[in-house]
Amino acid sequence: MNTQVSIAGVTFQNPVMTASGTFGSGMEYNAFVDLNRLGAVVTKGVASVPWAGNKTPRVAETYGGMLNAIGLQNPGIDLFIERDLAFLKQYRTRVIVNVCGRTVDEYVTVVERLADTSVDMLEINVSCPNVKEGAIAFGQDTKALSDITAAIKKKAKQPVIMKLSPNVTSISEMAKAAEAAGADAISLINTFTAMKIDIYRRRFALANRTGGLSGPAIKPIAVRMVYEASHAVSIPVIGMGGIANAEDAVEFMMAGATAVAVGAMNFHDPYTTVRVIEGIEAFMRDQKIDDVNSLIGCV
Amino acid sequence: MEKQTATVLRQECIADGIYSMWIKTPLANEACPGQFISVYTNNAARLLPRPISICETKQDCLRIVYRIAGKGTEEFSRYHANDPVSILGPLGNGFPLSGEDAVLIAGGIGIPPMLALAKALTGKKEIVLGYRSTPFLQDELSAFGDVILATEDGCTGTRGTVMDAIAAHPLSGKVIYACGPIPMLRAVKEYAAAQNIPAWLSLEERMACGVGACLGCVCESTETDAHSLVNNKRICKDGPVFAASEVIL
């Protein structure tokens, strides 16, 4: 039984990754799951310098999901390389670093700093809805997306995944723009811009007013977008959005994803990633599937 | 620390909307006063755990006392003996224990962790408790020290806040431990600074992961934090107990 998948020349022992921002750099979840079991650890977004993030409350639960407006708090690339990457080096699991910035130059600075490291791939966050400058501003316009993709590709030593926002009119157009500018892969979806109001206090649930909606509530939309994007481009797609179990993961793969990521459900159950991996293996045995790659885009 | 399905031993309503639940779990034996557990609902549509402080422990048994604050805690309040309950913990850092005479100050649903703390502290204890109205846990706490009550409606003790009660009952303790709403903790912090005695504050915030990964539950800190090199300590992982001088409230 083969569970290995390959994206831009990088092979993964299985198609299950962590979704950026839900797993830190794996240090906290190491207590629950063997990081060596994962297809890849996708780190929380890292910028050129430390970012303080937004005011609290930063999270709120909604039906079947949650809102977050962390605001990309992160320690900056220096400490990240020294501490987080050193930690991840102890494991044979692939490492994908999520990169964020306010300007193209800031993204490029991080990408250049990572050039000499053992990082396997870069995921470029052009889709965070919770910061005022950068991030989503690059992910909602085909020209801006194309420009930043090209600028990063020029400097990157590792394959580049562009992480796309669902907060767009046509995900296919965004996917095509990323591919045309040289992206090696795309990942989607990031969170939906959303809002919750505490009706008893007559206040926004989040200090940032809006936040990104994730969790099982968004899964059917994510599956549709992965389907559309994967049919618009020929580069691999990493699918995510509310994956809670192996059935959800298989659904994303059948929609066209080469790999999948577990996000908000890590908060519900810290063992979710490994349960999804084991569940995919059980599904393959049960359905007499020899190669997980046969699931990709099979519908 | 692990996530597990434990068993409810018993549960009772001890005041309006306040429930006391004993849970059978070996995780109890690892717990320190001031730590908390994440409690998960049975409804997957409510995917985030509810962080609830540990009220006290016995061999293989842990007690939580919580307020119904929404649909998740309302679900917990309907659990009966022998029902399964999904928990993760113990989480966070507890109160550093001092042998000196101590003042325990707590308000509302910040009161429960004071029971485990009062049991663990060896010195003399003055225990100041603030409520909106009907008190709870005050009899159990009175076994460990002098209890001073404040109620907002004046139904018992000093009418007003814990600070009003302290003004009416001068204290002699040399270290303060506090848990309660932010305005109360702010007042305790000011009081401790004026008295020039150390204070330990237990904070609360909306949490998601509960283990320090998501950075959802930070509080502003006076010093640069080790995790992100900004001024945001993680309440779930670096706290929930902080030195008063460490945090900006």
The type of residue at B150 is: A
Contact A58 B232 (CB under 8 A): no
Query: Is residue A60 a part of any domain in this protein?
Result: no
Q: What tens digit of pLDDT does each residue of A52-93 get?
A: 999 999 999 999 999 999 999 999 999 999 999 999 999 999
For domain B2-91, give the fold. Answer: Elongation Factor Tu (Ef-tu); domain 3 (2.40.30)
Distance from CA of B170 to the nearest CA of A (A): 35
Tell me, what's the pLDDT at A127? 85
Contact B216 A53 (CB under 8 A): no
User: What are the structure tokens assigned to B14, written together?
Assistant: 């001890």
pLDDT bin (cut points 50, 70, 90) of residue A227 is very high
For domain B203-249, give the fold. Answer: Dihydroorotate dehydrogenase B (pyrk subunit); domain 3 (2.10.240)
Contact A57 B211 (CB under 8 A): no
Distance from CA of A131 to the nearest CA of B (A): 15
Strand A210-214 to A65-68 pairing: antiparallel
pLDDT bin (cut points 50, 70, 90) of residue A134 is low
For domain B101-194, give the fold. Answer: Rossmann fold (3.40.50)
Q: Which residue of B has its CA nearest to A70?
A: B216
Angstrom distance (rounded) from CA A248 to CA A293:
16
A200 in reach of chain B (CB within 8 A): no
Distance from CA of B104 to the nearest CA of A (A): 27
Range of A182's domain? 5-50+75-189+216-295
Beta bridge partners of A60: A67
To the query of whether residue A100 is one of the catalytic residues in this protein, the response is: no
Hey, how many other C-beta atoms are within 10 angstroms of the C-beta on B183? 12
Query: Is residue A197 a part of any domain in this protein?
Result: no
Tell me, what's the pLDDT at B182? 96
The CATH number of whichever domain residue A24 belongs to comes to 3.20.20.70
Scanning the structure block, which residue is given the tokens 């999948």? A260
Max CA-CA distance within chain A?
55
Query: In this predicted model, which residue has the larger pLDDT, A139 or A255?
Result: A255
Q: Which residue of B has its CA nearest to A57?
A: B206
Q: Which residues of B touch A32 (CB under 8 A)?
A: 2-3
Contact A28 B210 (CB under 8 A): no
| Euclidean distance between the first and the last CA atom of chain A, given in angstroms as a whole number | 21
Instruction: For residue A255, give Cα distances in angstroms to A7, A249, A262, A291, A299.
Output: 17, 10, 16, 16, 7
Contact A24 B212 (CB under 8 A): yes
CA dihedral (B131, B137, B138, B144) positive or negative: negative
The kind and range of the H/E element at A148 are: helix A142-155
User: What are the structure tokens assigned to A276, written together?
Assistant: 């999804």
Tell me, what's the pLDDT at A128? 79
User: What are the structure tokens assigned to B105, written together?
Assistant: 């100050």
Strand B18-24 to B2-15 pairing: antiparallel
Query: Is residue A125 a part of any domain in this protein?
Result: yes
Q: Which residues of A touch B208 (CB under 8 A)?
A: 59, 66, 68, 264, 267
The shortest CB-CB distance from B208 to any of A32, A68, A76 is to A68
How buried is residue A50: exposed, middle or buried, by Cβ count under 10 Å (0-12/13-18/19+)? buried
User: What are the structure tokens assigned to A240, written together?
Assistant: 């995510």
Domains B2-91 and B101-194 are alike in CATH topology: no
User: What are the structure tokens assigned to B15, written together?
Assistant: 């005041």
Query: Is residue A285 a part of any domain in this protein?
Result: yes
Tell me, what's the pLDDT at A187? 98
Q: Is this complex scored with an ipTM above 0.90?
A: yes
* CA Rg value for chain B: 17
Residue environment code for B131-160, b if the CB has 16+ CB neighbours within 10 A, otherwise e: beeebbbbebbeebbebbbbbeeeeebbeb
pLDDT by residue for chain B (249 residues), tens only, comes to 789 999 999 999 999 999 999 999 999 999 999 999 999 999 989 999 999 999 999 999 999 999 999 999 999 999 999 999 999 999 999 999 999 999 999 999 999 999 999 999 999 999 999 999 999 999 999 999 999 999 999 999 999 999 999 999 999 999 999 999 999 999 999 999 999 999 999 999 999 999 999 999 999 999 999 999 999 999 999 999 999 999 999
Mean pLDDT in residue range A31-56: 97
Angstrom distance (rounded) from CA B105 to CA B109:
12
Distance from CA of B248 to the nearest CA of A (A): 13
Tell me, what's the pLDDT at A132? 66
Query: How many domains are contained in chain A?
Result: 1
Query: Is residue A158 a part of any domain in this protein?
Result: yes
Query: Is residue A65 a part of any domain in this protein?
Result: no
The shortest CB-CB distance from B47 to any of A44, A52, A265 is to A265
Domain layout of chain B by residue ranges: 2-91, 101-194, 203-249
Chain B residues whose C-beta is within 8 A of a chain A C-beta are: 1-3, 40, 44-49, 72, 88, 205-219, 227-232, 237
pLDDT at A155 over 70: yes
Tell me, what's the pLDDT at A130? 72
- Report whether B239 contacts B219 (CB < 8 A): yes
Query: Is residue A196 a part of any domain in this protein?
Result: no
Query: Is residue A56 a part of any domain in this protein?
Result: no
pLDDT bin (cut points 50, 70, 90) of residue A133 is low
* Catalytic hit among A128, A168, A171, A181: A128
